[in-house]
Structure 1
Amino acid sequence: MGRLGEKFASLRAGNEKALIVYLTAGDPSLDVTKELILGLERAGVDIIEIGVPFSDPTADGPVIQAASQRALKTGTTLEGVLKIVAEIRKMSQIPIVLFGYFNPIFAYGAEMFARNAQKAGADGILVVDLPPEEAGELRIHTDAAGLDFISLVAPTTGRDRLKKILKGAAGFLYYISITGVTGTAAPKIDDIAHEVAKIRKMTQMPIAVGFGISNAAQAKEIGALADGIVIGSAVVKLIDENQNSRNL
């Protein structure tokens, strides 16, 4: 069992839920990203999602799109992201998921990416624009490297497709609470409760809910339904608003 599995098992044993935080690597700089991650761990965050900036982040809302553009302008690359993962791993054992799009991985080389991501200390990857039907080659390399390949489940995912997704799922399931892009709408609690209950009947894998969670009340309600919650746009927005603050 890897760090992700151990974290969820430990939290379940204590009847606790995972707080997962997303931030965009390189916004405002890779050095600051590293310090933010270490600070988030000290503040009680359980799992980190590091967003690899990409020029056409179609699943992301305006907040994360802008963060990606800022990071790219400062010269952030996939290689640079892997370097800060390695630096973080020297100081922390917090589980790390690399979140991004397939194009940078393809340009880097799928086999080399999987090997170097594992070597750096990443625990899982989530490729938001790579459906299961097209993930075969990358999965060969990530499985060989021991990386958990995190799968997405959406409100529109039918039962038959869910069965296929579950066959290849690892680490945890990421349930998208809204249709659309990140951070642009409020999740509907009743709908989430229904969908999470449906998934629970088919798997014991941990379920984390993300997209659209922006305040403590939402986090508390959704946390009661799932094994974890993912906070992304709200954190990225705070980082942007405080880039010139000494307390960032």
Structure 2
Amino acid sequence: MAEFFDQTADGEPGLALFLNAGDPPLDVLADLVFMLDDAGVDCLELAVPFPGSVTDGPVIRRSHERALALGVGLDEVLTFISHVRPKLHRLRIALLADWSYSIKRRPMAEVVGDIAEAGADGLLLHAVPPRVRPGYYQATRDAGLPVVATCYHKVSTQQVMTEAVDNASAYLYLVAQYGRSGTAPAEGYADLAGTIAELRLDMSGHDRGVASGLDGPASRWAHGRKTQVHPVRGSFSRTPSENLHPPNTADDPPVATAGVPIAVGFGVKTRADVSTVHALGADAVIVGSAGVARVEEALAYNRDVVKEFADFVRSVHPAHTLA
């Protein structure tokens, strides 16, 4: 498995959690991020908030609104990442940004370079038009920034799935159903097994291409990021320490992947969901709305957001918990 997710010794799946930057406010979010790192969580999908998302359910849409009300945009999120990333031991940060709202008014190569320089470990670009994708993939390769590619169970065509396999270099996000975040498939997750197996077969074919020296998208490179992390300038309180997964620099040679992890999300809310999805062959799970709802509740009732979220992580994935 690629380094983005480190399975625990007892075979537990990797865990990614979704949050909007700015919900909770960035100073509280910094403490929450450090808690996730201490708890051994693998990945934080950190979104740049954007309005009117048609793929998000009401919980995450309200989260976008709270963060936007605080004035959080791409520049603020990149500054936040540059502050916290040097202090993390294990947690990786995959930035999620909406192309139309946060990216399209800037030159692609420039904005991708800024994201890599800030210290993001990967990038998931939401709703990027087909005509823009070749330039996006090229820009991420040039910057050495790993890509989170997405496809939809039962809905994505073979062409879309192959494109995702070709270009995923952080992990492949398999959306469990077409619809809005927070809703689980009505028929359950069981038939995901076939889609996961199909993606693995595609990956094995492309890995043979890498081994034979083929050029192009199938020759995926991971973690060769041209990154110079900014020195810590803010007030986020944690002493920098040795990083178990330090950001790579421009001098690091690219490392070919042997198939990236497959992470399943949408509707994953409970420990039972996590176990079910993992048993079907997924390397990792992505939990979004359920965790965001805990943040919303804690803010509404003036509770300790970090403690509430730690309790949630413990309930959904006991392998990732504070000692």
TM-score by length of 2: 0.70
Q: Take 1:35 and 1:201, find their aligned partners in 2: how far apart are those partners?
A: 40
Asked whether 1:245 is paired with 2:303, we answer yes
Amino acid at match of 2:178: T
Mapped partners of 2:148, 2:305: distance in 1: 33
Given the superposition, is the C-alpha separation of residues 106 and 92 from structure 1 closer, same or farther in structure 2, using an over 3 Å criterion? same
Counterparts in 2 of 1:246 and 1:159: CA distance versus 1, 3 Å: closer
Aligned in 2, Cα 1:150/1:131: closer, same or farther, shift over 3 Å?
farther
Counterparts of 1:17-32 in structure 2, within 5 Å, are: 17-32=13-28
* Distance in 2 (alpha carbons) for counterparts of 1:105 and 1:13: 39
Query: CA offsets per residue over residues 188-207 of structure 1, 9 Å max, x none?
Result: 22121221122122213310
Distance 1:236 1:247 in 2: 11
Secondary structure at the counterpart of residue 304 of structure 2: coil
Show the counterpart of 2:254: none
1:35 aligns with one of 27, 31, 34 = 31
* Aligned equivalent of 1:192: 192
State the Cα distance separating 1:165 from its structure 2 match.
2.8
The RMSD of aligned alpha carbons is 2.0
Quick check: which one's helix share is greater? Answer: 1
Look up the match of 2:61.
65
1:6 aligns with 2:61: no
Q: Is the 8 A contact 1:186 1:213 kept in 2?
A: no
The equivalent of 2:94 in structure 1 is 97
Q: CA deviation at 1:112?
A: 2.5
8 Å contact 1:132–1:165 — kept in the other structure?
no
Which gives a bigger RCO, structure 1 or 2 (Cα 8 Å, sep 6+)?
2
User: What residue identity is the alignment partner of 2:291?
Assistant: V
Q: Is the Cα–Cα contact under 8 Å of residues 223 and 229 in structure 1 kept in the other structure? A: yes
Give the residue type in structure 1 aligned to 2:294: L
> Is the aligned partner of 1:162 residue 2:218?
no
User: Which stretch shows the higher mean deviation, 178-187 or 233-242?
Assistant: 178-187
Which of 142, 145, 159 pairs up with 1:144? 142
Per-residue deviation at 1:108?
4.2
- Rounded to whole Å, the distance in 1 between the matches of 2:45 and 2:19 is 7
> 2:262, 2:282 within 8 Å by CA — same for their partners in 1?
yes
Identify if the C-alpha distance between structure 1 residues 14 and 28 changes in structure 2 by more than 3 Å, giving closer, same or farther.
Answer: closer
CA contact (8 A) 2:164 2:172 kept: no
- 1:221 matched to 2:217? The reply is no
Q: In the alignment, what sits opposite 1:129?
A: 127
Q: Determine helix, strand or coil for the equivalent of 2:16.
A: strand
TM-score by length of 1: 0.90
* Cα distance, 1:246 vs structure 2: 3.0
Whether the 8 Å contact between 2:49 and 2:67 is mirrored in structure 1 is: yes
Which residue identity is paired with 1:39? M
Deviation at 1:185, TM superposition (A): 3.1
- Superposition deviation, residue 14 in structure 1: 7.0
Partner of 2:260: 205
Counterparts of 2:127 and 2:81, CA distance in 1: 22
* Structure 1: unaligned runs, 5 residues or longer: none
Unaligned runs of 5+ residues in structure 2 are 204-258, 307-323
Residue correspondences, number: 244
